[in-house]
Amino acid sequence: MGSQQGLDRLEADFRVMFPSTTTNLPPPNFWLEFWAQASRDEGLCQQHLARFQMTRKHYEQAVRHELAARKVQPDIDVSLLADALATLSLGFEVRVSLDGESISQERAFQSTKQVLDLIRLLLHALDR
């Protein structure tokens, strides 16, 4: 993961978020419990909002890096795309927690990877 940038970096990040094997990461339902507690605790909420902001900036940097490598610069609001990617990953965390039989960690990863591949395809098409 270390030297990867752009969408490749995000793909590696999503692999860590949605591992294909058992890991030492907290179980998916950890975040549901955490968010419930944060909704009742202002200090915890502020800490978590800082995490959201850091993640959004990371996603923005990855998208900006990807766009910088392109011949054509599409009219894309990078912050909106970063919000969409962050919401996608959080949504899959919730789905895996609530419906792990239908949406496994692997399926969540493959779904997020599919979205990144679609973005790559669209950017590649613009370069032609």
Q: Is residue 66 part of a domain?
A: yes
Q: Is residue 1 part of a domain?
A: no
Q: Is residue 97 part of a domain?
A: yes
Q: Is residue 50 part of a domain?
A: yes
Q: Is residue 43 part of a domain?
A: yes
pLDDT single digits (tens) 4-26: 899 999 999 999 888 887 666 67
**Mean pLDDT, all residues of the chain:** 88
* Residue 98: predicted pLDDT: 86
Q: Is residue 86 part of a domain?
A: yes
In 66-120, DSSP assigns E strands to none
Percent of the chain with pLDDT over 90: 51
Q: How many domains does the chain have?
A: 1
Does the pLDDT at position 84 exceed 90?
A: yes
Spatial distance between the Cα atoms of 86 and 46, rounded to a whole number of angstroms: 18
* Residue 28: predicted pLDDT: 67
Residues 6+ apart with CB under 8 A from 115: 85, 88
Q: Is residue 42 part of a domain?
A: yes
Whole-structure pTM value? 0.83
Q: Is residue 41 part of a domain?
A: yes
Q: Provide the domain limits for residue 68.
A: 6-18+25-127
CA angle 17, 59, 31 (to 5 degrees): 35
Average the pLDDT over each of 47-56, 71-80, 116-125 and give the range with the smallest value: 71-80
